[in-house]
Chain A
Amino acid sequence: MYFSVRVENDSLVLFLQGTWRVIQLNEVLLELNTFPWPNNHQLIIDGSTLSEIDTSSINTLLKFLSSRGNSFDIISWRGFSKRQQNLIDLVKTQWNLESSLKPRNMLGIIEQLGKGTLDVGVAIFDIFSFIGQTLTACWRLLSRPKLFRYKEFVVQLELACVNALPICSLVTFLIGLVVAYLFAGQFEKYGANIFIVDSVALAMCRELSPIIVAIIIAGRSGSAFTAQIGTMKISQEIEAMTVLGLSYMQVLVLPRVLALVIALPLLVFIGDLMGIFGGLAIANLQLGVTGSTFIDRLQAVLTARHVLVGLIKAPAFAFFIALIGCHLGLQVEDNARSVGLNTTATVVRSIVAVILLNAAFAIIFVKLGV
């Protein structure tokens, strides 16, 4: 029991009892709500049997009483300790101030749709203007090669290329293996075992290796760029660079873009080899195509043209992955959540960009007849 009620000379006296703490507010409210309140009474609140009350409880009691139509003017208070009375006064002052509570501003669905569409438009515009900035910075670099940051470039190349070798090799090897396994069953039916070489080599070199490696790098390096640059932005390092007369484009963006543009074709080439190697393993185990037969056939069907088609795409993928990564890193806002959001966005946008570019390349190569 948190309170009891008695009638004294035509007025209602509410005796508060025990401990009223914010932790137990739910029980207090339950009791208040289930009590049959008589109407139209002068209300007296008595604190003489109360051992403890806190601000939240007072606030809730006041809200409750006013929701039952008791205005403050007709409530009188008695029997509270000085400290409790002070608390009551403190809460009452706050209470009068904020009676003009505004309704919360909620975005309607149409408003959200419009906002979302505009955001996409802004994002596309931003990335194109960032491409422009990067190319301008490149132009400046060409006219003044001394600006180039070799150290940063080499560090990034190691991170993006050398350190990515194991994972890229493993994944492309397994993809080659799986593709060969899939085809092996089909070719075996027609006794066309040797065509396993054509299919695996062409699929890996033209399409699979570039796409798979680009997606791995988007997840590995693109996200890392965003996280690194974003964290630097939060700790004001980017601003510090600018004030010290350093261009973040030259110091941060260009070395990363160039490192990735060089790293990705190399990784794609390794991916080609590993994928073909996976195909060779299955051809050998499943179809009885010996290693030397496989290599002979490979030399006949895999002309340089096919390998180049894959390798030409790689720098374009790399350019966009690096740009998106750096750009979203620079767009990080001044809070921890923003880094996470932008890092995710980098991976998603990079993968979408890679797949769109790949489709564009496919059309171009078909038109060119390559």
Chain B
Amino acid sequence: MTTLTSRQNAIISVQNVETYFGGKAVHQGISLDIYPGKIVSLIGGSGTGKSTLLREIVGLLPPTRGEIFLFGKNVWRQSEDKMIALRRRFGMLFQDGALFSGLSVRENIAIPLVEQTQIASPIIEDLVDMWLGLVGLSVDTGDKVPSELSGGMRKRVALARALVLEPEIIFLDEPTSGLDPINARAFDKLIKTLSESLGLTVFIVTHDLDTICGITDRLIVLEQGKVLADGAVKNVAKIKHPWIESYFNSRADH
């Protein structure tokens, strides 16, 4: 019974997920419960299935076995219409932004509003202006096309696009990869500020130790297809395990 109630309170719930790619096990029974309003980071070595787990949670890739719940609803047991309604409640930032290259920045941000709501276009324009401001871009940026933007700006536009329907959860896939340290920290700060003021739950897949130490409330470590550690960053850092030790020492070595 306790698992049932905790699952109902959890905004994201992963239950005994197993994933196999052509007989090769990626996940061997992963269970996680994530509660609203926290910034959660998922780390693990390359090939431990972090991004795969993320894709399973957002409904892009079905797990071989196990259940995934978002807002208490089973992601892989929803009808098409219900899933669309569910998708409105979370946003996702892809690794390189995944902006639509044929559209301007302004159109990219407006897309969810145009497609999912009946709001009149002048109001949408106002909202796009607001989001450009909230993610720290100037209004002029709106008229550029994605190929004219730097990596950091692209991620900011992608963040605005992911947030424009005011989701309750935002998933970030390697948000700081490809950014210089200054831009990466600025992006971390932006995520922290926005998540606090908008009351967002943030789920980050990352390698970036600074993101983890800087803004993460809870850290989950995947290793060999299982959850190796789960808890506050300072507690996880104390765990005696070769991978965790070498991970947290990777910066101290320099």
- Interface residue tally of chain B, by bracket? 20 to 34
Closest to B129 in A: A98
A56 in complex: contacting residue of B102, B130, B140, B146, CB < 8 Å: B130
Q: Is the interface of A mostly helix, strand, loop or mixed?
A: helix
> Does A154 sit at the interface, judged by CB under 8 A?
no
Q: Cα distance A25–B120 when bound, in Å?
A: 9
Q: How far is the CB of A8 from chain B (nearest CB, A)?
A: 30
Check B126–A63 contact: CB distance below 8 A.
yes
* A87-B118 CB under 8 A given contacts A56-B166, A94-B134: no
Q: Cα distance A87–B199 when bound, in Å?
A: 10
> Does B117 sit at the interface, judged by CB under 8 A?
yes
* A94-B130 CB under 8 A given contacts A26-B118, A105-B143, A335-B101: yes
Check A95–B123 contact: CB distance below 8 A.
no
> Does A54 sit at the interface, judged by CB under 8 A?
yes
* A59-B130 CB under 8 A given contacts A87-B197, A101-B139, A333-B147: yes
Q: How far is the CB of A17 from chain B (nearest CB, A)?
A: 19
Chain A residues lying within 8 Å of B139, measured Cβ to Cβ, are: 98, 101-102
Chain B residues lying within 8 Å of A87, measured Cβ to Cβ, are: 197-198
Chain B residues lying within 8 Å of A54, measured Cβ to Cβ, are: 166, 198
Closest to A340 in B: B102
Number of A-B contacts (CB under 8 A): 76
> Does A83 sit at the interface, judged by CB under 8 A?
yes
> Does A336 sit at the interface, judged by CB under 8 A?
yes
Closest to B122 in A: A63
> Does B179 sit at the interface, judged by CB under 8 A?
no
Chain B residues lying within 8 Å of A59, measured Cβ to Cβ, are: 126-127, 130
Q: How far is the CB of A294 from chain B (nearest CB, A)?
A: 54
Check B133–A94 contact: CB distance below 8 A.
yes
Q: Cα distance A83–B166 when bound, in Å?
A: 15
> Does B165 sit at the interface, judged by CB under 8 A?
yes
B198 in complex: contacting residue of A29, A55, A97, A336, CB < 8 Å: A55
- Interface residues in B124-176 (C-beta closer than 8 Å to A): 126-127, 129-130, 132-134, 139-140, 143, 145-147, 164-166
- Interface residues in A309-353 (C-beta closer than 8 Å to B): 333-338
> Does A21 sit at the interface, judged by CB under 8 A?
yes
Chain A residues lying within 8 Å of B120, measured Cβ to Cβ, are: 26, 29
Q: Cα distance A14–B3 when bound, in Å?
A: 44
Q: How far is the CB of B130 from chain A (nearest CB, A)?
A: 5
List 3 tightest A-B contacts by C-beta distance, closest first: A335-B101, A94-B133, A54-B166
| Residues of A near any B CB (own CB < 8 A) | 21-23, 25-26, 29, 54-56, 59-60, 63, 83, 86-87, 90-91, 94-95, 97-98, 101-102, 104-105, 333-338
CB pairs A–B below 8 angstroms (19 shown): A22-B113, A22-B127, A23-B116, A25-B117, A25-B123, A26-B119, A26-B120, A55-B134, A56-B164, A56-B166, A63-B126, A94-B133, A94-B134, A95-B130, A98-B132, A98-B133, A104-B143, A335-B146, A335-B147
